[in-house]
Every structure is written in structure tokens, then in C-alpha cells.
Amino acid sequence: MEESVKTEQVNAYQYSPLALAYMGDSILDLLVKKYFVTHSNMQPHKYHVEVSKIVKAVNQADYIDQIMEELSEDELDVYKRGRNTNTHSKAKNATMGQYRKATGLEALYGYLYLKGDMDRLQYFVDGMIRQYLESKES
């Protein structure tokens, strides 16, 4: 098995919206975990609690509503493809509309990751984290 784990640029648009969302869910989780591990010192369970609050579908749906105007034409297209895809599951604590928006956002994150646009991906994830931290302060 000679395949490298090093990321290489691919044509991210060729993947199905659900494949992009699958990747985006993982990368969002990883980047938020990285933030908390590098900015605080907690027990693993406390990390999990904080990360879960940020990455839940309700927060993702709220965040995409806030950044919609910032999306490029390609990003908006990927988001809409993800949002409009038929899924056979639903988030535990979100409406179907929120879940679909979250799936669209995760597809966007997967797209940016596979495209190799880490600066843009990090910009959006930082915004989600900032939104959460500001809501905790109020």
C-alpha cells in the first residue's frame, strides 16, 4: 500500500455532495479540536463537550446564514448542492431545514479542503469558533 497520506490537490467539484459533506464533517471536527487543544488545557471530556457545541447542526445552520453573502459563486454552488441533496438521516436536535443547511456547509468545507484552499477553510472555521465564543460571553 504505497498511497501517501499527504494531501494533494484534486478536482474537488467531481465528488458527490454527500462525499464532500462527509469529508467536511471530519475536517470541521478536526480543526475545532485543534483550536481547543492549542488554546486551552482541559480533560478530554471537556474538549468533547466544547467541540460538540460548536459543530452541531443548529450552529452550522446559523453560521451559514451569516456568511452567505461572503461565498463566491463556486462556493455557493457547492453549498446548495449539499443542502439540496437527499439524505436519509436527520440530526438529533435540529430541524430538517437546519440539518440540510449544515450538510451544505459541511459540503463546502469538504470542497475547500479537497481543493487545497486551507486559508479559506480556516477563515470560515475560525468564524464559527469566534461566533461560539462570543455567544458564551453574552
Is there a catalytic annotation at residue 119? Answer: no
Q: Which of 25, 74, 77, 126 is catalytic?
A: 25
- Cell numbers standing for residue 66: 451569516
Cα–Cα dist 97/61, whole Å: 8
Q: Distance (Å, rounded) from C-alpha 130 to C-alpha 110?
A: 20
DSSP character for 69?
A: G
24/16 Cα distance (integer angstroms): 12
Cβ(116)–Cβ(9) below 8 Å: yes
- Residues noted as catalytic: 25
